[in-house]
């Protein structure tokens, strides 16, 4: 998480300054990110010398009970999830002023919005692997009854394991029930009027546009399909010059064709994405295990391990998995 922005220091709450020690153990270093609702700073644990990220609400956000509730919900949801593909919440606390904060693992890298901004459309195996890793986090959340509801490239963070291999971390579970804010897309791609939507319209399924509470696991599957489409084409599947136009296309139009924008994409992969983007939820994959099984043929061989883990999680929760990927290892 290194998203320095000009003037972001000015957004930090006056009672938190570089050098301050919070909760007796977190020494504030600098601001690394800011948005409409909060600020993220990097800090160092004074005893363990470990870098962490602290997320605060801005003073104006504290005026909304909805925002404060979302902040607490994000911390609780993320804390429950143990997958390596979720940004871990380590601790929570409050400043003397009453402003809440959460302590998260510090991530180095970039979200997938930034990756696409610098690289454009990604190679097919790479994009598929990123979505399969995100599916691991989403699968665990679903088994705990948590629907993310705001999956988008900006909430999938690409970092690296110690061996250099890529690792996707799913961020921001604050909209897992009710949300109040939408971050704009990357430079040149934001749309007028989207900030009041409960979620991110470019990746939002029809049922969520019609009723923000009317979501289930298949709503997240729509979002994952929309993200994969964009990773492969550098364009979302539904586009519009304004919010009403976009809504109309999501609710009654058809998505762009993957192979029209990415001719080298296999027809089977196009079919997987189209199934994710079905208007009727009953026509989508029933769970992320089935989506993962469908994606495995288009990713690196190691993706079979992810698909196997996802299937075991879903089955352990009592759900039926009707589609299975090939075994992770030949003798399985």
Structure tokens of 268? 């089977």
Q: Which of 111, 113, 150, 172 is catalytic?
A: 150
Q: What is the DSSP string of 215-230?
A: --HHHHHHHHHHHHHH
Phi, psi of 102 (to 5 degrees): -125, 145
In angstroms, the CA 312 to CA 287 distance is: 12
Q: Give the Cα separation of 180 and 5 in Å (integer).
A: 23
Name the β-bridge partners of 160: 166
Q: How many helices (H) and strands (E) does the chain have?
A: 11, 9
Q: Which two tokens stand for residue 51?
A: 């870098």
Sign of CA dihedral 77, 79, 81, 85: positive
Of 277, 284, 286, 281, whose CA–CA distance to 257 is shortest? Answer: 277
Q: Look up 150 and say whether it is catalytic.
A: yes
Please give the positions annotated as active site.
150
């Amino acid at each position: 998480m290194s998203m320095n922005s000009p003037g972001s220091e000015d957004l930090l709450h006056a009672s938190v300054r570089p050098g301050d020690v919070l909760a007796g153990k977190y020494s504030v270093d600098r601001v690394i990110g800011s948005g409409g609702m909060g600020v993220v700073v990097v800090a160092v644990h004074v005893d363990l010398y470990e870098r962490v990220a602290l997320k605060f609400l801005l003073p104006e956000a504290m005026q909304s009970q909805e925002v404060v509730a979302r902040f607490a919900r994000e911390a609780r949801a993320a804390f429950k999830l143990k997958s390596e593909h979720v940004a871990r919440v380590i601790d929570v606390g409050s400043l003397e002023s009453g402003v809440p904060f959460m302590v998260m693992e510090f991530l180095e890298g970039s979200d997938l919005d930034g990756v696409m901004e610098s690289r454009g459309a990604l190679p097919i195996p790479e994009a598929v692997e990123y979505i399969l890793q995100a599916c691991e986090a989403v699968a665990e959340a679903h088994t705990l009854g948590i629907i993310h509801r705001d999956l988008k490239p900006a909430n999938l963070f690409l970092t690296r394991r110690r061996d250099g291999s890529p690792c996707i971390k799913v961020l921001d579970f604050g909209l897992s029930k009710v949300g109040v804010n939408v971050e704009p897309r990357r430079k040149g791609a934001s749309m007028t009027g989207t900030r009041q939507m409960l979620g991110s319209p470019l990746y939002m399924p029809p049922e969520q546009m019609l009723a923000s509470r009317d979501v289930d696991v298949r709503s997240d599957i729509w979002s994952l399909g929309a993200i994969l489409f964009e990773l492969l084409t550098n364009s979302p599947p539904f586009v519009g010059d304004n919010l009403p136009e976009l809504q109309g296309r999501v609710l009654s139009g058809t998505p762009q064709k993957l192979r029209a924008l990415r001719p080298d994409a296999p027809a089977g992969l196009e079919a997987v994405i189209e199934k994710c983007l079905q208007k009727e939820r009953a026509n989508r994959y029933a769970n992320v295990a089935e989506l993962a099984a469908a994606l495995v043929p288009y990713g690196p061989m190691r993706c079979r391990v992810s698909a196997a883990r996802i299937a075991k999680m879903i089955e352990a929760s009592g759900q039926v998995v009707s589609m299975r990927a090939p075994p992770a290892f030949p003798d399985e």
